[in-house]
């Protein structure tokens, strides 16, 4: 059983949240923390349930050394609010939906992913789905920045 659990959430769980899932999972592996931290991703909607991440997300992630191929889309469940210590919304709309669905006792777990960024200061990770290569690269830049801050937080939580 892991000591800490993080869930990333976007709309359909095929672009932003699986990218963050893959990046954090690899960083935890390299830090020797993979067995102590559970990482997952989900969508606010079940549009792509069971599908792999968008091919463009996979391709751009692979160019940076991240393998997203084993991930499959799923929708956020009520159980997730209890199971995860930190639930990170990729944009303001996701956070709003999560707040509406989340039981009061677990709302403290909900945060905007960009709160962990130190180099990028926007509130949202923009959806690259209808964009081009530059948009997918921008998502990766934001995700790598946020995951660096998140990894520091996780280390502190595990040391406490």
How many folded domains does the chain comprise?
A: 1
From 15, 16, 56, 112, the catalytic residue: 16
* 10 belongs to the catalytic site: yes
pTM of the model: 0.98
The enclosing domain of 34 has a CATH number of 3.40.50.2300
Residues 71-92 have pLDDT tens digits of 999 999 999 999 999 999 999 9
* 15 belongs to the catalytic site: no
From 10, 15, 102, 117, the catalytic residue: 10
Range of the domain at 55: 4-159
Alpha helices in 84-132 (DSSP H): 92-101
- Strand ranges across the sheet with 37-43: 37-43, 4-10, 86-89, 110-112
Contacts of 133 (CB under 8 A, 6+ apart): 56, 60
Q: What is the DSSP letter of 13?
A: S
Residues 135-152 have pLDDT tens digits of 999 999 999 999 999 999
From 51, 85, 124, 127, the catalytic residue: 127
Residues 52-74 have pLDDT tens digits of 999 999 999 999 999 999 999 99
């Amino acid at each position: 059983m892991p000591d800490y659990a993080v869930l990333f959430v976007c709309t359909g769980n095929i672009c932003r949240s699986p990218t963050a899932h893959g990046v954090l999972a690899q960083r935890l592996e390299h830090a020797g923390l993979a067995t102590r931290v559970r990482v997952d991703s989900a969508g606010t909607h079940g549009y792509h349930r069971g599908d792999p991440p968008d091919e463009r997300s996979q391709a751009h992630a692979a160019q940076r050394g991240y393998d997203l191929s084993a991930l499959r889309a799923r929708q956020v469940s009520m159980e997730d609010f209890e199971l995860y210590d930190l639930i990170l919304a990729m944009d303001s709309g996701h956070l709003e939906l999560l707040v509406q669905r989340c039981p009061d006792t677990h709302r403290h777990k909900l945060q905007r992913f960009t709160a962990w960024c130190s180099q990028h200061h926007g509130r949202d990770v923009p959806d690259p789905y209808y964009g081009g290569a530059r948009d997918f690269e921008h998502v990766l830049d934001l995700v790598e920045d946020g995951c660096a801050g998140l990894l520091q937080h996780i280390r502190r939580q595990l040391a406490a």
